[in-house]
Amino acid sequence: MPTQAQVPEIVAKVRRRLANAAKKGVHLHVVDKKLADGWLYVVVTPSEPGERASDHVGSRARLTQGRD
């Protein structure tokens, strides 16, 4: 369970991974975050017009696991 103090570091890590993924054609960005009930929710949406979130489901899974 992350603490409030850890949230900026975690979100920064997510943003770095998304920046690296953008170089590979995965255009997503963080739009919101919330720490609640011991969980950190990070909302990520497409950052390019015309893209759908469903186009990047596999990419998000790899990013979450740190493989991209």
Identify the pLDDT of residue 50.
78
Q: Say what the pTM is.
A: 0.77
Q: Is residue 31 part of a domain?
A: yes
Domain region containing 22: 4-61
Q: Is residue 66 part of a domain?
A: no
CB 1 within 8 A of CB 39: yes
Is it the case that residue 67 has pLDDT exceeding 70?
A: no
Task: List the one residue out of 5, 21, 17 whose CA is nearest residue 55.
Answer: 21
Separation CA 8–CA 53 (nearest Å):
24
- pLDDT by residue (tens digit) across 1-36? 899 999 999 999 999 999 998 898 888 899 999 999
Q: Is residue 68 part of a domain?
A: no
Give the count of domains, the chain. 1
